[in-house]
Amino acid sequence: MRKTRTTARYATQSKMTRRKAVLKKRRWKSAHKKGTKAYTFLIPSIQQMPEEKDGAENGTENGAEHGMGYPSPHGEDAQRPMLSVIIPAMNEEKTIGAVVREALRICRDAEVLVIVNGSTDGTANAAQRAGARVLTYAEALGHDGGRKVGAAAARGQILLFTDADIAIPAEHLAPYVQAVLKGTDVALNDYHGPINRSPVHPVVEAKHMLNSILARSDLRGASMTAIPHALSRHGLEVMGISSLEVPPLAQAKAVIGGLRVRAVHHVPVGRMNAIRSKKRTGPDPLSQVVLNDHLAAIKWITDTLGPRGGYSDLHRVRSLAR
């Protein structure tokens, strides 16, 4: 009798575990039906938005003076799409179509730019068929170089950055755009990395450390090195397009430049991102690049704010110890 009860309990637990896994998968399933162009737009067009609203809801709390908040349907802004989605891509023929289609579902007033660089497959054709504007480069630019090129070519009032190998549903991209519409300059993924592992990965530590140096420990590990993230046009001007090649540097310039930087929505990109290589000998070259980018950001901070990065040295007189 006891054995039968134990077996039944384990069977019930196994069924519940499978049920939870199915529900989690459904939460990430997009509402877009494959093979149809009947997009359900998640954000209304510029023409449908009110021109003025009061308070922080439309961005007047910290940036209406920069033309943030809901875009005006008149004047120069009317010539621009509300949103530019920028997607660097290299040999992502299998996934780029789905990524573009999800980006197009965010709002009607959008352009999707795919920066195809160093590709030897049909990524460019697949992106174009899905409805993207394609910029092609024979050389490999890397993710950050591709984002810089895309930002320079983008016409949108809001810039959203994502990757070509992860088809994030539009329902989980729209919150970044909505945050910028409400006044945020830099809308980050509220993703902090696997901090419970031992040891913690150096890149995860670097992200937390940079935010602490910037007196923004509330951001924890949220970083411009992770997608998705979105920028206001004013935020891009403060950071400078060239800084997008070094995302931690761009983030440092945003915080010190007084921009409103927020972690707005959680997308578990660490779990969603496919592992390209299971076996590696020696250090991960990508991790080394990201760590060097954080060092560049710290150097800029100390060059700008002084050797202590703007922090007080209290009452110590270091010259007396020389």
Tell me the per-residue pLDDT of 85-115, one tens digit each, with 9 for 90 and over. 999 999 999 999 999 999 999 999 999 999 9
Better pLDDT: 300 or 55? 300
Q: Which amino acid is at 138?
A: A
Query: Going along 92-226, which residue ranges are E strands?
Result: 110-117, 133-137, 158-161, 186-189
Nearest alpha-carbon partner for 269 in 207, 226, 221: 226
Token code pair at residue 261: 């930087």
Identify whether the C-beta of residue 43 lies closer than 8 Å to the C-beta of residue 156. Answer: no
Least confident span in 99-103, 198-202, 279-283 = 279-283
Q: How far apart are CA 248 and CA 179, in angstroms?
A: 21
CB-based burial label for 249 (10 Å; 0-12, 13-18, 19+): buried
Identify whether the C-beta of residue 225 lies closer than 8 Å to the C-beta of residue 207. Answer: yes
Least confident span in 4-18, 30-44, 136-150 = 4-18
Averaged pLDDT, 51-71: 42
Length of the chain: 322
Q: Please write the tens of the pLDDT for every residue from 176-189.
A: 999 999 999 999 99
The reported pTM is 0.80
Token code pair at residue 164: 């070509």
* Cβ neighbours for 220, distance < 8 A, ≥ 6 positions apart: 192, 208, 211, 263
* Cβ neighbours for 20, distance < 8 A, ≥ 6 positions apart: none
Integer angstrom CA distances of residue 87 from 132, 151, 234: 10, 10, 20
Conformation bin of residue 55: beta by default, left when phi > 0, alpha when psi is -120 to 50: left
Q: Please write the tens of the pLDDT for every residue from 238-276.
A: 999 999 999 999 999 999 999 999 999 999 998 877 555
The predicted pLDDT at position 191 comes to: 94
Residue 21 has pLDDT above 80, yes or no: no
